[in-house]
């Protein structure tokens, strides 16, 4: 299977880079979330620029669609902004996809950083701007040394990266090379059938999620399989699926644990596959440049990320 031409990497962040802070999805808890985000930006030697509406709230959203979009569009149109770092995930980014000015991201490539619900922005902006975006910690997170080092080396150093973890396990051996694609499973599944669904042909698919029962994970993965989205994947790296609810009804069968489900998907796809890859709603998470070409060695449980620009 051929590997498509690499997407463009945005310019590396350097001391003094201007980093915009936005909340395109769920609301912040309070000003402490914003302060954590400001502290993180400054700790890297960057200059934070705060969206006007980041503390807004509209129920489960960080303000109305118009307000959240206004911050995102303001920074996309500002050539002095070097990165857009999402303060948190939650839900709501999908609601903005039809209104984003994608041409602005094409004209001035910049780093887009976040994970979880931010998967919707990675999928839409990455494809339309042919731009590598970064599946990494949200700006409000307390960064562990591992998370900080991975993040900084990916967005600021530009050196080739090899990712490995003693917790990663092999589900199906072999090697695969392809573009990194994916993110949060719920969002990847929800985007199917829309203009923003991920093209996974020849991709190394990475998936994670939080708070989902095993049967719901099964349903989402089965949806991807039945939709043909998994037919052409080159390899799969399952991240962590955390905070799985305890069995409270007979809907979830304790005889069908998560590892069995993931093994079934690996067998059905017939491609190299690992589990417990260090991404997801976990303290120690690596930053992945979605859209970049990488090589997965499932036997040795490593992912080597290439950088062509």
Supply φ then ψ for residue 171, to 5 degrees: -100, -35
3-state secondary structure of 274: strand
Among candidate residues 36, 135, 240, 281, the one labeled active-site is: 281
Residue of 116, 122, 135, 240 marked catalytic: 116
46 contacts 17 by C-beta, under 8 angstroms? yes
Q: What angle do CA 201, 206, 106 make, to 5 degrees?
A: 65
**258-269 vs 214-226: helix crossing angle, rounded to 10:** 10
Q: For residues 126 and 291, is the Cβ–Cβ distance under 8 A? A: yes
212 is catalytic: no
- Structure letter (DSSP) for residue 8: B
Active site residue 281: yes
Half-sphere exposure of 84 (CA within 13 A, CB side): 28
Q: Which of 208, 212, 240, 295 is catalytic?
A: 208
Active site residue 53: no
* Whole-angstrom distance, CA of residue 210 vs CA of residue 217: 10
So which residues are the catalytic ones? 116, 208, 281
């Amino acid at each position: 299977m051929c590997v498509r031409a690499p997407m463009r990497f945005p310019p590396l962040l350097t001391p003094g880079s201007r980093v915009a802070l936005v909340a395109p999805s769920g609301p912040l808890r309070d000003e402490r979330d914003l302060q954590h985000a400001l502290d993180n930006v400054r700790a890297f030697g960057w200059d934070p620029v705060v969206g006007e509406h980041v503390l807004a709230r509209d129920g489960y959203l960080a303000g109305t669609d118009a307000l959240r979009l206004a911050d995102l569009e303001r920074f996309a149109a500002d050539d002095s902004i070097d990165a857009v770092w999402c303060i948190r995930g939650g839900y709501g980014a999908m609601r903005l996809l039809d209104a984003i000015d994608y041409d602005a991201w094409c004209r001035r490539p910049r780093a887009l950083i976040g994970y979880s619900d931010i998967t919707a922005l990675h999928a839409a902006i990455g494809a339309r701007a042919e731009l590598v975006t970064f599946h990494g910690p949200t700006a409000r997170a307390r960064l562990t040394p591992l998370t900080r080092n991975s993040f900084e080396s990916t967005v600021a150093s530009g050196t080739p990266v090899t990712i490995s973890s003693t917790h990663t396990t092999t589900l199906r051996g072999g090697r695969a090379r392809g573009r990194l694609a994916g993110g949060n499973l719920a969002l990847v599944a929800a985007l199917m059938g829309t203009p923003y669904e991920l093209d996974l042909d020849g991709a190394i698919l990475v998936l994670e999620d939080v708070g989902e029962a095993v049967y719901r994970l099964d349903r989402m993965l089965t949806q991807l399989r039945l939709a043909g989205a998994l037919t052409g994947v080159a390899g799969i790296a399952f991240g962590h699926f955390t905070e799985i609810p305890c069995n409270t009804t007979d809907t979830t069968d304790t005889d069908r644990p998560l590892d069995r489900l993931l093994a079934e998907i690996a067998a059905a796809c017939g491609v190299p596959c690992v589990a417990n890859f260090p991404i997801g709603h976990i303290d120690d998470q690596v930053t992945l440049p979605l859209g970049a070409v990488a090589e997965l060695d499932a036997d040795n449980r490593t992912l080597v990320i290439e950088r062509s620009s």
